[in-house]
Amino acid sequence: MFESAAPWIAYLVAALVGYGLGSIPFGLLLTRAAGLGDVRAIGSGNIGATNVLRTGNKKLAAATLLLDLLKGTAAVLLVRFLMPAAPEADTLAGVAAFLGHLFPVWLGFRGGKGVATYIGVLLGLFWPAVLIFAGVWIVIAYFSRYSSLAALVATVVVPLALWGLGENILAAMFALLTVIVWVKHRANIRRLLEGTEGKIGHKG
């Protein structure tokens, strides 16, 4: 569809499509639609699934997780369909979707922490690596009972795995996304070091 357009236009469209999809605040929209108010007013103030879970609605949290994941995948696949001849346009769309989730313009650039959308982008660009992410997450979560720790470790393993599989461009890209995820999780990291991070299944 965009084969005849100037290259910069194709990449601009890819970035805008990715950012637009990524910036949809599903956690906020779903909680409001369910009559639970503004999810940013509770817990961490985050719009992601973990904070939605603090409303006590597990189904809503699961829906938020799934939609935040799929918007990353949708950005990649849609741009790949629209501009198959533009090298790495789908990768650009994935990065833009991730950044859109973290920094949505509609919410004053205060969004989620990015793990679900990270996985969704990974699913669209190189789905076998999602299995690696899931495997690492399950093992770390099982032994530590910390969901945040499991996610942080998995985001470190993914770029290394991609590099080992010869996907050097994706490895570099996900290494950058991993750094951003860690920065967004700095409060969780502090609580992990202090031993005050909430564990899986803990209701205190």
Q: For residue range 64-73, what is the model confidence (pLDDT) as tens digits?
A: 999 999 999 9
Whether the predicted pLDDT of 204 surpasses 50: no
Domain boundaries, the chain: 1-112, 126-204
CB of 69 closer than 8 Å to CB of 120 = yes
Dist CA 94 CA 193 (whole Å): 31
pLDDT of residue 38: 86
What does the pLDDT look like over 105-137, one tens digit per residue? 999 999 999 999 999 999 999 999 999 999 999
**Which amino acid makes up residue 38?**
D
CA angle at 2 for the pair 22 and 16, rounded to the nearest 5°: 20
Tell me, what amino acid is at 25? P
What is the C-alpha to C-alpha distance for residues 104 and 83, in angstroms, rounded to an integer? 24
Provide the whole-model pTM.
0.92
Distance (Å) of CA 161 to CA 24, 53, 94, 166: 30, 31, 19, 9
Whether pLDDT at 203 is above 60: no
